[in-house]
C-alpha cells in the first residue's frame, strides 16, 4: 500500500490510487480483526473435542471439522495471502509458484469450509426428518467418510487454479506475484471452469441450504401439530416434550449457522452474477463496484470466523465449558497463591512456637 501514489489521477477504470489505498487500509483493519477472532477457533475445537457439550458424536464430528476448516481458511487466506501482501511484500510467499499454490489452498479450504456446513445441514435434516436413514447415516463413521471424500474431491477440483495465474514481473529470472492470465476471463474453457467453481460454491450451497431448511421446517410443523394433538396440548393442557425440546435446540443451531452463511455470502454471490450477466471483468470495475466487490470478499471471509460465536449463543453447555476454560488460569493462580500463603503461615507458626 505504501507504494500507491495517492495523488495520481484515476486510470481508465476510473479508480484512483487514493481510493484503492483507503479501501485496502480498511480491509487490512478488518482482516486483522478476523485474525484475532480466529484465535477463538482454537478454543472451539478444544471444547468440542472434549465431548461435553451435550451433542451427539456425529454432530460433534461435523462441528469440529467445520471449526478446523474455518481455522485453516483463515491461516491460509488471511495470514499467508492477504496480511503478508500488506506487510511482507517481498517474501518468498509472493513468488509466483508459491503464490499460485497458496491460492489453490485458499480455494480448497474455502470449499471445504462451505461444504462442511452443507453436510452438517444435511445431517441435521436426516436426523430430524428421516428416522429410518438416521441410524445408518448419522454416525461418526459415516461423518468421517463424508468429510474425507469432500476434502479429496475439492483438492482435485481446485488444481486447475494453479495454472490460471502468471507472474506480474520477473526479477533475476525469478517470477514474482500472481495475476490472472488474460485468457481467464475470455477463454471458453476457463469461463466454463469459473462457472463450475461458482456453482459449487456458493450457488449450489445456497440452494441446498434453503431446500434442507424448508423441508426441515415443514416436517417439524407437521409433527409438532400431531404430537400436540396426541398429548392434548391443543385443549389447554401443558405437557413437556423432551423430544421436541431436543429438536428445537438442533433447529436453532442449524438455522443460525445456515442464516449466517446466507447473509455473509450474499454480496459475493450478487457480484458474481453481476459481472457474468453484464459481461464486465472485475479488472475494469469503477469505484463503486470495486468497493462492493471487496466488501463482499471481506464478508465471505468473515463467515469463517463466526461459527464459534454461534455455538456460544445457541448452546448453553458450550458456554459453560467456555467459562470453565476462561476461569481455569485464574483459579489455578489463586490456588497456587493460597497454597504458598499456607506454607508461609505454617513456617511462621513453627518459628514462633520455638
Instruction: For residue range 197-223, list pLDDT tens digits in order.
Output: 988 988 898 889 888 888 888 888 787
> What pLDDT score does 7 carry?
45
CA distance linking residue 47 with residue 64, whole number of Å = 9
Question: What's the mean pLDDT in 325-344?
Answer: 79
Contact 166, 181 (CB under 8 A): yes
Q: Is the pLDDT of residue 89 over 80?
A: no
Of 293, 251, 298, residue with least CA distance to 272? 293
Q: What is the pLDDT of residue 195?
A: 86
User: Measured between alpha carbons, how far is 266 from 258 in angstroms, rounded to an integer?
Assistant: 12
Q: Which residues pair with 174 in a beta bridge?
A: 171
Residue 104: the pLDDT is: 95
Give the model's confidence band at 34: pLDDT under 50 very low, under 70 low, under 90 confident, else very high. Answer: low
Give residue 334's Cα distance to chain centre: 37
Residues 6 or more apart whose CB falls under 8 angstroms from that of 322 comprise: 43, 47, 312
Q: How many CA atoms lie within 13 A of 167 on its CB side?
A: 14
Predicted confidence at residue 26, as pLDDT, reads 59
At 152 the pLDDT is 96
Check if the beta carbon of residue 11 is closer than 8 Å to that of residue 290: no
With beta carbons less than 8 A apart as the criterion, state whether 79 and 35 touch. yes
Average pLDDT over residues 70-79: 83
Show the cell assigned to 94: 509472493
Mean pLDDT in residue range 43-51: 81
| Residue whose grid cell is 453447555 | 317
pLDDT over 50 at 3, yes or no: no
What pLDDT is stored for residue 321 in this prediction? Answer: 80
H/E stretch holding 147 reads helix 140-157
Grid cell locating 133: 436413514
**pLDDT for residue 216:** 84
Determine the average pLDDT of the residues in 285-305.
Answer: 83
Structure confidence at residue 8 (pLDDT): 47
User: 312 near 322, Cβ under 8 Å?
Assistant: yes
Residue linked to cell 447473509: 263
pLDDT category of residue 103 using cuts at 50, 70 and 90:
very high
pLDDT given for residue 6 in this prediction:
40
Helix, strand, coil percent values for the chain (each to nearest 5) = 80, 5, 15
Residue 229 has pLDDT above 60, yes or no: yes
Q: Report the mean per-residue pLDDT for the chain.
A: 79
DSSP string for residues in 186-246: TSHHHHHHHHHHHIIIIIHHHHHHHHHHHHHHHHHHHHHHHHHHHHTGGGT-----HHHHH
For residues 271 and 182, give the distance between their C-alpha atoms in angstroms, rounded to a whole number: 20
Q: Quick one: pLDDT band at residue 251, thresholds 50, 70, 90?
A: confident
Q: Which of 24-28, 162-166, 240-244, 287-291 has the highest mean pLDDT?
A: 162-166
Distance from the Cα of residue 53 to its chain's centroid: 21
pLDDT at 118 over 70: yes
CA dist., res. 104 & res. 160, Å (int) = 8
Regarding predicted confidence, which is higher, 100 or 342? 100
Give 144-179 pLDDT, tens digit per residue.
Answer: 999 999 999 999 999 999 999 999 999 888 999 998
CA distances from 81 to 1, 95, 99, 157, 272 (A): 15, 12, 8, 20, 21
The more confidently predicted of residues 130 and 26 is 130
Give the start-end residues of each E strand in 84-220. 165-166, 169-171, 174-176, 179-180
> What is the reported pTM?
0.77
Ramachandran angles phi, psi of 275, nearest 5°: -75, -20
Average pLDDT over every residue of 182-195: 86
**Residue-level pLDDT at 2:** 40
Amino acid at each position: 500500500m505504501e507504494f500507491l501514489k495517492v495523488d495520481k489521477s484515476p486510470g481508465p477504470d476510473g479508480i484512483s490510487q487514493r481510493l484503492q489505498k483507503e479501501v485496502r487500509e480498511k480491509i487490512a483493519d478488518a482482516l486483522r480483526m478476523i485474525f484475532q477472532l480466529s484465535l477463538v477457533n482454537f478454543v472451539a475445537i478444544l471444547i468440542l473435542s472434549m465431548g461435553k457439550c451435550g451433542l451427539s458424536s456425529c454432530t460433534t464430528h461435523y462441528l469440529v471439522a467445520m471449526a478446523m476448516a474455518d481455522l485453516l481458511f483463515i491461516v491460509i487466506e488471511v495470514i499467508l495471502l492477504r496480511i503478508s501482501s500488506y506487510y511482507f511484500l517481498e517474501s518468498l510467499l509472493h513468488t509466483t509458484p508459491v503464490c499460485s499454490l497458496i491460492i489453490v489452498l485458499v480455494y480448497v479450504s474455502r470449499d471445504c469450509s462451505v461444504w462442511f456446513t452443507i453436510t452438517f445441514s444435511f445431517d441435521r435434516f436426516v436426523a430430524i426428518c428421516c428416522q429410518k436413514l438416521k441410524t445408518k447415516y448419522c454416525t461418526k463413521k459415516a461423518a468421517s467418510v463424508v468429510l474425507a471424500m469432500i476434502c479429496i474431491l475439492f483438492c482435485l477440483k481446485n488444481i486447475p487454479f494453479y495454472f490460471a495465474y502468471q507472474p506480474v514481473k520477473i526479477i533475476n529470472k525469478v517470477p514474482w506475484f500472481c495475476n490472472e492470465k488474460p485468457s481467464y476471463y475470455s477463454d471458453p474453457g476457463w469461463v466454463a471452469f469459473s462457472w463450475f467453481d461458482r456453482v459449487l460454491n456458493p450457488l449450489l450451497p445456497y440452494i441446498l441450504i434453503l431446500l434442507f431448511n424448508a423441508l426441515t421446517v415443514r416436517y417439524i410443523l407437521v409433527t409438532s401439530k400431531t404430537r400436540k394433538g396426541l398429548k392434548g396440548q391443543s385443549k389447554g393442557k401443558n405437557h413437556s416434550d423432551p423430544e421436541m425440546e431436543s429438536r428445537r435446540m438442533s433447529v436453532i443451531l442449524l438455522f443460525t449457522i445456515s442464516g449466517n452463511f446466507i447473509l455473509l455470502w450474499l454480496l459475493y454471490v450478487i457480484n458474481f452474477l453481476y459481472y457474468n450477466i453484464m459481461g464486465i471483468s472485475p479488472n475494469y470495475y469503477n469505484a463503486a463496484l470495486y468497493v462492493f466487490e471487496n466488501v463482499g470478499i471481506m464478508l465471505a471471509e468473515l463467515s469463517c470466523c463466526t461459527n464459534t460465536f454461534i455455538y456460544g449463543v445457541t448452546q448453553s453447555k458450550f458456554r459453560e465449558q467456555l467459562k470453565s476454560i476462561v476461569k481455569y488460569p485464574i483459579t489455578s493462580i489463586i490456588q497456587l497463591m493460597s497454597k504458598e500463603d499456607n506454607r508461609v503461615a505454617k513456617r511462621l507458626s513453627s518459628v514462633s512456637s520455638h
